[in-house]
Amino acid sequence: MVLARINFDLFIGELILIVILALSTILHLPNPWTDSPIFTGSFRLKPIIPTILILLMTLGARGLKQTGAPALIGLSLVIWLIMLFGFNWLQKRLSPSRLWTFWTGSVINFFLIYSLFFFDTLGKFKLLYVAYILYILATISSLLLAKKVHSWKVIIGGSVLGLLISLIPSHIAFLIGLAITCFFCNLINRYVWPQYQKDSSIPELRKRFVKQNYNILGSIASQITMIAFFIINNFLFNYHTGQIFAAYYLQRANTTLTWVLYTTRLGCIVLIVTVLAILFVKESEKKK
């Protein structure tokens, strides 16, 4: 608990320092619009609310991974519940291309961060290196084979197959599922990119920036979801909310958490497949 408190204080100090440096840098930048003020019009609160929520999601996810501080457990759960209700609003207002980017970002980030928790908590450090090597190979393979895979159904089917394989309670099966899913997720990203290029609502120079924004949003959403499942499952099975984070940031293997890790994987993948079904329906409606 003492170490968690020290880590939390250092984390908050680091965050405050970064904000101060960022504001200082912005204030010293020259104004490119010399004939007009930087801020014009009335102050509007509505655009700020999503920004604050994303900041809190990032704070909860990053802070718990680094410190395991109990103060962030309640924050993470509340933000996760808000995010679940917010997705219904999000999927009704965004184009399919942006939702696909959100989904692939969340899936790939889930596999990478979950691998870190999974193999680190069990003390399987060599398998952790294997997981990241397989991700790199899957990314390279998707670049080389993208022009040979044209069927949307094959791409979606491959993603589902990889997700299902990763649910098999075996380290090797999980790694195979990771490689297959990341391969097809990268193909989806290449598939939807032309839709960004045709989107006249996005300025030409901002298309990649907008795509990256939704990729990052998906990454943050998957992290806070995974952490919420860790907290809930850890409490249900061990009557402890932060045990798994302590095992992670203290670098101490704890094989008693195997069931917590697996049920978290199961819960996250069920949510991932549910969102995939919603997106697939939207894509089918668009083509009619």
Give me the domains of the chain, ranges plus CATH numbers: 95-288 (1.20.1250)
pLDDT at 220 (0 to 100): 84
- Nearest-angstrom CA–CA distance, 71 and 278: 34
For the ranges 70-74, 107-111, 160-164, 260-264, the lowest mean pLDDT is seen at: 70-74
Question: Is the entire prediction scored with pTM above 0.85?
Answer: no
Please say whether the beta carbons of 220 and 61 come within 8 A: yes
pLDDT at 8 (0 to 100): 59
pLDDT at 187 (0 to 100): 92
DSSP assignment of 114-157 equals HHHHHHHHTT-HHHHHHHHHHHHHHHHHHHHHGGG---HHHHHH
pLDDT average, residue stretch 232-253: 67
DSSP symbol at 257: G
| Averaged pLDDT score across all residues of the chain | 78
pLDDT at 44 (0 to 100): 62
Say if residue 2's pLDDT is above 60.
Answer: no
201 or 41, which is more confident? 201
Q: Which token pair is 187? A: 């193909």
108-153 per-position pLDDT tens digit: 999 998 998 888 888 888 999 999 999 999 999 998 888 888 788 8
pLDDT average, residue stretch 246-252: 63
113 or 38, which is more confident? 113
Query: Confidence class of residue 286 from pLDDT cuts 50, 70 and 90?
Result: low
181-209 per-position pLDDT tens digit: 999 999 998 888 888 888 777 777 778 88
pLDDT at 287 (0 to 100): 59
pLDDT at 127 (0 to 100): 92
Range 163-200 burial, b when 16+ CB lie within 10 A, else e: bebbbeeeeeebbbbbbbbbbbbbbbbebbeebbeeee
pLDDT at 62 (0 to 100): 66
Across the chain, where does the E strand assignment appear?
Answer: none
25 or 46, which is more confident? 25
pLDDT at 112 (0 to 100): 92
Say if residue 9's pLDDT is above 50.
Answer: yes
